[in-house]
């Protein structure tokens, strides 16, 4: 049994473990290998999103992913333990709770804040490098505003409302931007004047986020100042107390009131990585030197990835940066190299990452980015930068937890966002109470039941009628478009009932369609896009038309072929389709009226509408059914409906299904 141990469940550790398991499974080596991932927390944390929790833009659950869910259905042993030592001579990992043998070790233990020896910084400041940090900081911010609202001492009130963020890198700028965006909301809630709140971002750097081009740094600076942040550059922090901060600028030290100091000034390797670094070749802040295959230069079976690795790529002057994209790339390389070593097939891959850019958010509505191909990158800001940020996050979530996390992310970032704290302005946030949809749901359901019952009355269960249903409508459209002899339109009237129902698909409008067939109609537009054709016509002169006279159709050649050769191919198939449509309409209606499987009923309702649009066309006065179906897709049955009780039960049972967990085909 080959044993692989991964220390750390951060970005690099989780991805390396997943990729290893997948590759070994494909090689049919899953039973002969054992993968163990060790972390002190039972969850993986999205460190790049912590500022959103700290400033209460999203809930704390949005930045956590349970490790057992991530590795559900996979042969990965998840161990909760704190690693204290690695014995390279005996190939053992020592934890507080146990000891773990390994044949291959992957060090991906991540980082922790570093304080550069600044007096009082560690004891008197808040950090933002873990889930717990974000929650504590969020509560601290709320407490400051709550206490300040009742504080009568001006000095104490000033202290409570003074916030200093130390660091103007990615984390510092995103945290101060998020805080500045949240501050007006808190001021309104607690009755505090915005001018009474002090927010300062301080750093010894010459400009914010210097890894960005100067033009983008200036945009960040301008945006922060516009949000009321005092941006202090070229100033170093030399001391932090319980209610003050000391800054040094131009050899002058000044002391400022600071009730809350948030430290984001830098990182160093975690405790265990720093301990390992003492026994192997390493560099500053505990980063371990690796070769081109990402192995420790002393131990061929020890791989180091993510923040913990010290490696300079060919042609580069500086080591690879400590950022998420490096974690992703290094995880893939290590997975490939370990599998190549185990199987003794294929060559090991030299690590030569191509980074695609960087971006930084300044609140939930604005960001800047530089990205593109490795050697051809462009600057972009505002909407496009924020879009890129969310798109990149979704790509990562697809790798880690698939549909389950993507849906959760969209829900937290867009569908439940409050106070318009989204680059989409909150336009997709679900503000309408679901009980307002009940009348619409009942009416749409009743219309579908009526349609099904009327088709039974007309004989859809006893004789073939689809030929007239489809053919009559097509003849009507063709006559208006001048594709048939107008005199032939009189033939349509003989099948007026079928034609009428085909044209509006849901209402008895036989007279209107029959009359339209013998009157001069109007072609409003007929646009042919090769693969499909869109047609909008009226059965009357346009000046005399009402919305019930205007019909829309999308002509799709493949659909026409399918109807002619399959649906109408034999009487048996025609009867089957007729019965199927009748039963489906009644089931949709009953489901919507009872609020039972509303999501499925609404989707099928939309599918039927699309079918009618592409085969018979629809009058515009029935288009409300399409929009009603869209409105009822999500959550329409949870108020005064069976789904209120049924869906939670089914969801609970579904999550117990092994392959549903493995492929993340559920949502929390």
The 3-state DSSP class for residue 303 equals strand
In a domain, 654, yes or no: no
The 3-state DSSP class for residue 571 equals helix
Q: Dump strand ranges (E) for 498-630.
A: 522-528, 533-538, 550-555, 618-619
Nearest to 89 by CA among 80, 76, 102, 75: 102
Domain that includes residue 173, residue range:
121-265
Distances (CA, A) of 148 to 163, 197, 258: 13, 10, 14
The residue out of 277, 311, 343 marking a domain boundary is: 343
Do 253 and 203 fall within a single domain? Answer: yes
CATH number, domain at 83? 3.50.50.100
Do 126 and 221 fall within a single domain? Answer: yes
Contact criterion met (CB below 8 Å) for 403 and 394: no
In a domain, 373, yes or no: no
Q: Is 147 exposed, middle or buried (0-12, 13-18, 19+ CB in 10 A)?
A: middle
Q: What is the domain count for the chain?
A: 3
Do 205 and 331 fall within a single domain? Answer: no
In a domain, 354, yes or no: no
Phi, psi torsion values for 414, nearest 5 degrees: -130, -45
Give how far the C-alpha of residue 519 lies from the chain's centroid of Cα atoms, to the nearest Å.
Answer: 53
In a domain, 643, yes or no: yes
Residue 508 is predicted with a pLDDT of 36
In a domain, 658, yes or no: no
Do 308 and 446 fall within a single domain? Answer: no
Put the strands of the sheet holding 260-263 in their side by side order. 126-127, 260-263, 162-166, 198-202, 230-232
**11-26 helix and 383-400 helix, angle to the nearest 10 degrees:** 50
Do 167 and 260 fall within a single domain? Answer: yes
In a domain, 364, yes or no: no
Low-confidence ranges of the chain (pLDDT < 70): 484-520
Residue 520 is predicted with a pLDDT of 63
Do 162 and 308 fall within a single domain? Answer: no
In a domain, 406, yes or no: no
Distances (CA, A) of 620 to 163, 548, 624: 58, 6, 8
Contact criterion met (CB below 8 Å) for 554 and 615: no
Do 251 and 287 fall within a single domain? Answer: no
The residue out of 318, 343, 368 marking a domain boundary is: 343
Residue 489 is predicted with a pLDDT of 45
- DSSP string covering 78-120, please? EEE--EEEEETTTTEEEESS-EEE-SEEEE---EEE--TT-BT
Residue 516 is predicted with a pLDDT of 39
For residue 637, count other CB atoms closer than 10 A to its CB.
Answer: 28
The 3-state DSSP class for residue 533 equals strand
Q: Is 117 exposed, middle or buried (0-12, 13-18, 19+ CB in 10 A)?
A: exposed
Do 133 and 214 fall within a single domain? Answer: yes
The residue out of 200, 232, 265 marking a domain boundary is: 265
For residue 295, give the DSSP letter: B
* Contact residues for 473 (Cβ-Cβ < 8 A; gap 6+): 499, 502, 503, 513, 615, 616, 617
Do 293 and 199 fall within a single domain? Answer: no
Do 11 and 61 fall within a single domain? Answer: yes
Residue 497 is predicted with a pLDDT of 35
Angle at 426 between CA 638 and CA 623, to 5 degrees: 60
pLDDT tens column, 596-621: 999 999 999 999 999 999 999 999 99
In a domain, 201, yes or no: yes
Phi, psi torsion values for 269, nearest 5 degrees: -60, 155
HSE, CB side, 13 Å, CA atoms: give it for residue 437: 28
Do 496 and 616 fall within a single domain? Answer: yes
Contact criterion met (CB below 8 Å) for 211 and 358: yes
Do 506 and 638 fall within a single domain? Answer: yes
pLDDT tens column, 505-523: 333 333 333 333 444 689 9
Angle at 12 between CA 9 and CA 17, to 5 degrees: 65
* Ramachandran area for residue 330 (φ above 0: left; ψ -120 to 50: alpha; else beta): alpha
Q: Dump strand ranges (E) for 40-82.
A: 43-45, 64-66, 76-80
Q: Which sign does the torsion angle of CA 20, 21, 22, 23 carry?
A: positive
């Amino acid at each position: 049994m080959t044993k692989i141990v991964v220390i750390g469940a951060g970005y690099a550790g989780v991805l390396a473990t997943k990729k290893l398991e997948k590759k070994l499974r494909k090689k049919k080596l899953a039973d002969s290998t054992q993968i163990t991932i060790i972390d002190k927390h039972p969850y993986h944390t999205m460190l790049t999103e912590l500022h959103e929790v700290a400033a209460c833009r999203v809930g704390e659950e949005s930045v956590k992913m349970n490790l057992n869910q991530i590795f559900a259905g996979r042969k990965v042993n998840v161990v909760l333990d704190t690693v204290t030592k690695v014995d390279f001579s005996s190939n053992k990992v020592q934890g507080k709770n146990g000891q773990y043998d390994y044949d291959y070790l992957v060090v991906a233990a991540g980082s922790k804040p570093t304080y550069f020896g600044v007096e009082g910084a560690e004891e008197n400041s808040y950090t933002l490098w873990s889930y717990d940090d974000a929650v504590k900081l969020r509560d601290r911010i709320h407490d400051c505003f709550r206490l300040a609202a009742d504080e009568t001492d001006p000095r104490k009130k000033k202290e409570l409302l003074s916030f200093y963020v130390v660091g103007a890198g990615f984390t510092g700028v995103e945290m101060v931007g998020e805080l500045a965006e949240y501050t007006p909301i808190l001021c309104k809630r607690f009755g505090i004047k915005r001018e009474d709140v002090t927010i300062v971002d301080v750093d010894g750097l010459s400009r914010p986020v210097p890894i960005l081009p100067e033009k983008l740094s200036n945009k960040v600076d301008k945006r922060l100042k516009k949000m009321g942040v005092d941006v202090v550059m070229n100033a170093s922090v030399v001391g932090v107390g319980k209610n003050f901060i000391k800054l040094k600028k131009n050899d002058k030290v000044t002391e400022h009131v600071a009730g809350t100091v948030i430290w984001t000034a830098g990182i160093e390797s975690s405790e265990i990585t720093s301990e390992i670094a003492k026994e192997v070749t390493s560099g500053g802040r505990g980063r371990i030197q690796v070769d081109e295959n990402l192995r420790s230069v002393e131990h061929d079976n020890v791989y180091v990835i993510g923040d913990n690795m010290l490696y300079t790529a060919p042609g580069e002057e500086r080591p690879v940066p400590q950022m998420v994209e490096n974690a992703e790339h290094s995880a893939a390389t290590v997975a490939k190299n370990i599998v190549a070593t185990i199987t003794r097939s294929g060559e090991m891959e030299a690590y030569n990452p191509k980074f695609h850019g960087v971006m930084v958010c300044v609140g939930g509505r604005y960001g800047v980015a530089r990205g593109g191909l490795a050697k051809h990158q462009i600057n972009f800001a505002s909407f496009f930068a924020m879009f890129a940020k969310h798109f990149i996050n979704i790509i990562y979530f697809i790798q880690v937890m698939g549909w389950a996390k993507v849906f959760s992310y969209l829900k937290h970032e867009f569908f439940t966002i409050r106070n318009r704290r989204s680059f989409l302005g909150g336009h997709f946030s679900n503000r309408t109470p679901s009980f307002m949809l009940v009348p619409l749901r009942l009416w749409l359901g009743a219309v579908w039941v009526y349609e099904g019952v009327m088709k039974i009355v007309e004989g859809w269960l006893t004789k073939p009628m689809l030929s007239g249903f489809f053919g009559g409508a097509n003849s009507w459209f063709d006559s208006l478009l001048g594709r048939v002899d107008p005199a032939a339109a009189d033939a349509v009237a003989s099948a007026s009932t079928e034609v009428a129902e085909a044209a509006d698909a849901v209402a008895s409008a036989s007279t209107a369609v029959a009359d339209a067939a013998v009157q001069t109609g109007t072609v409003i537009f007929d646009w042919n896009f090769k693969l499909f054709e869109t047609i909008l016509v009226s059965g009357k002169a346009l000046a005399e038309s009402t919305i019930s006279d205007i019909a829309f159709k999308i002509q799709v050649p493949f659909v026409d072929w399918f109807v002619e050769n399959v649906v109408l191919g034999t009487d048996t198939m025609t009867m089957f389709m007729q019965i199927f449509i009748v039963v489906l309409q009644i089931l949709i209606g009953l489901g919507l009226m009872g609020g039972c499987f509303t999501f499925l009923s609404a989707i099928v309702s939309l599918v039927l509408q699309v079918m009618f649009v592409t085969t018979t066309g629809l009058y515009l006065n029935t288009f409300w059914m399409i929009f009603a179906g869209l409105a009822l897709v999500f959550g329409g049955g949870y108020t005064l409906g069976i789904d209120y009780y049924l869906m939670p039960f089914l969801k609970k049972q579904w999550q117990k299904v092994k392959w549903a967990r493995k492929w993340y085909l559920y949502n929390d």
